């Protein structure tokens, strides 16, 4: 790799977004861009190949349930602490 290729990589817009902010407000780029439609297709294909089309609804349901439980835990942490102190916390298999 020669020096011109290296300079081209450093000054490319995709890498400039990750450089520290210099304090100027002119042409600020986001620090991390979300994937666009073109990036989601390969991700979706890999997920379907890994898990299969039949497992996708089950996987999505499990992810939704865990997000809901996580949010409940964030809203009422004292309630969860009281349950664990009193010994009334639900253990798997009980």
Q: Is 63 within the bounds of a domain?
A: yes
In the prediction, which pLDDT does 35 show?
Answer: 79
Whether residue 34 lies inside any domain: the answer is: no
Answer yes or no: is 68 within a domain.
yes
**Structural domains of the chain, count:** 1
Using alpha carbons only, what angle is made at residue 78 by residues 76 and 84, rounded to the nearest 5 degrees?
115
47 compared with 30, residue with greater pLDDT: 47
Residue 6 lies in a domain: no
Task: Tell me, yes or no, whether 36 lies in a domain.
Answer: no
Provide the domain limits for residue 78.
Answer: 53-86
Q: What is the pLDDT of residues 40-58, one digit of tens each?
A: 899 989 988 998 888 889 9
Residue 93 within a domain: no
Q: Please report how many Cα atoms fall inside a 13 Å half-sphere around the Cα of residue 29, on the Cβ side.
A: 13
Per residue in 4-29, pLDDT (tens digit) is 555 555 555 555 555 555 666 555 55
Give the chain as a DSSP string.
--HHHHHHHHTSHHHHTTSPP-S--TTPPPSSPPP-HHHHHHHHHHHHHHH-TTTHHHHHHHHHHHHHHHHHHHH-HHHHHHHHHHT-PPPTT-
On whether residue 70 sits in a domain, the answer given is: yes
Q: Is the residue at 2 inside a domain?
A: no
pLDDT at 73 (0 to 100): 85
Identify which has the larger pLDDT, 28 or 79. 79
pTM: 0.40
Q: What is the mean pLDDT of residues 49-73?
A: 91
**Predicted local confidence at residue 65, as pLDDT:** 95
**Which phi-psi region, left, alpha or beta, contains residue 93 (left: φ > 0; alpha: ψ -120 to 50)?**
left
């Amino acid at each position: 790799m020669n020096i011109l290729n290296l300079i081209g990589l450093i000054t490319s817009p995709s890498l400039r977004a990750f450089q520290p902010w210099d304090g100027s407000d002119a042409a600020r780029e986001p620090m991390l861009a979300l994937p666009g439609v073109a990036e989601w297709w390969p991700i979706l294909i890999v997920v379907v190949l890994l898990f299969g089309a039949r497992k996708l609804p089950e996987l999505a349901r499990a992810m939704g349930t865990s997000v809901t439980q996580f949010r409940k835990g964030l809203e009422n942490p004292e309630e969860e602490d009281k349950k664990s102190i009193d010994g009334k916390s639900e253990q798997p298999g009980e």
